[in-house]
Amino acid sequence: MAHPLEALLVLQEKDRKIAKLHREIRDIPARKADIDKQLEGGKTKLNQAREALKKVTSDLKQLEIEAAAHGEKILKYKNQQMEAKTNDQYRAFLQEIAAAEKQVAALEDREIVLMEHTESAKKIIAEREAELKEEEDGVSEEKEMLEERLSEVQEDLDKLIADRERITSTVNPSLLAKYDRLFKNKGDFAVVQVEGSHCSGCHMKLPPQVTNDALNPDKLVICNFCGRMLINLR
């Protein structure tokens, strides 16, 4: 006659796999979040590049406004200059015009620099967009693999649960209830084997009487130290 705990050892094997797969399913959202996090750096870098372009574009616009204002001033001075009554007045306008033209020239120099900055900012944006696109492709591949894994796990789980039902139908219900409680409680093993003269659950040395009783299919032997069910398959 087979020891009743033998069926439970097989059941336990299934239950351990089931628990492992449940853990894997539970961890998947966190793994997805980790994958998304990989994109954050690239997104931040792209946003920084876009902000830099915005800044340089607005600076450039400001310079254009200033240059236009100086241009209007120059026109006004030129009109006034034509109506100058004295040589001194005429020279004064000439000086004003020269000063304004100098400012316009300086602004134009700065505009050229900013236009170069605009070009390089656009180039940087294009580079970072390409980098991000590549990262996004990698990420969606990783996520796809995760989805595939999830459906594999689900399939395995369904099989294991069916196996489990088949096994439990052969086990005495009160023994099964004891096992279920113990397995849940211990989180690893409810049934353990005697190894030599030790409990393989807690590794404590067992009295000879216990190791002997654990051979007997008619006796339910519990380890005094860890409370797990003992079976001796010597």
Contact residues for Zn ion, defined by CB under 5 A: 199, 201-202, 223, 225-226
Give the residue with the Cβ less far from Zn ion, 120 or 197: 197
**β-pairing, 198-199 with 191-195?**
antiparallel
Q: Region of 34 please: left (phi>0), alpha (psi -120 to 50) or beta.
A: alpha
Give the residue with the Cβ less far from Zn ion, 160 or 214: 214
How far is C-alpha 211 from the geometric centre of its chain's CA atoms? 50
CB of 2 to Zn ion, least distance (A): 22
CB of 209 to Zn ion, least distance (A): 15
Instruction: Give the C-alpha distances (Å, rounded to integers) separating 206 from 10, 20, 78, 87, 201.
Output: 24, 30, 112, 122, 11
Give the residue with the Cβ less far from Zn ion, 74 or 223: 223
Please check whether residue 201 is in contact with residue 228, taking contact to mean a CB–CB distance below 8 angstroms.
yes
CB of 144 to Zn ion, least distance (A): 45
Q: 3-state class of 152 per DSSP?
A: helix
Give the residue with the Cβ less far from Zn ion, 12 or 93: 12
Q: What does DSSP assign to residue 209?
A: H
CB of 196 to Zn ion, least distance (A): 13
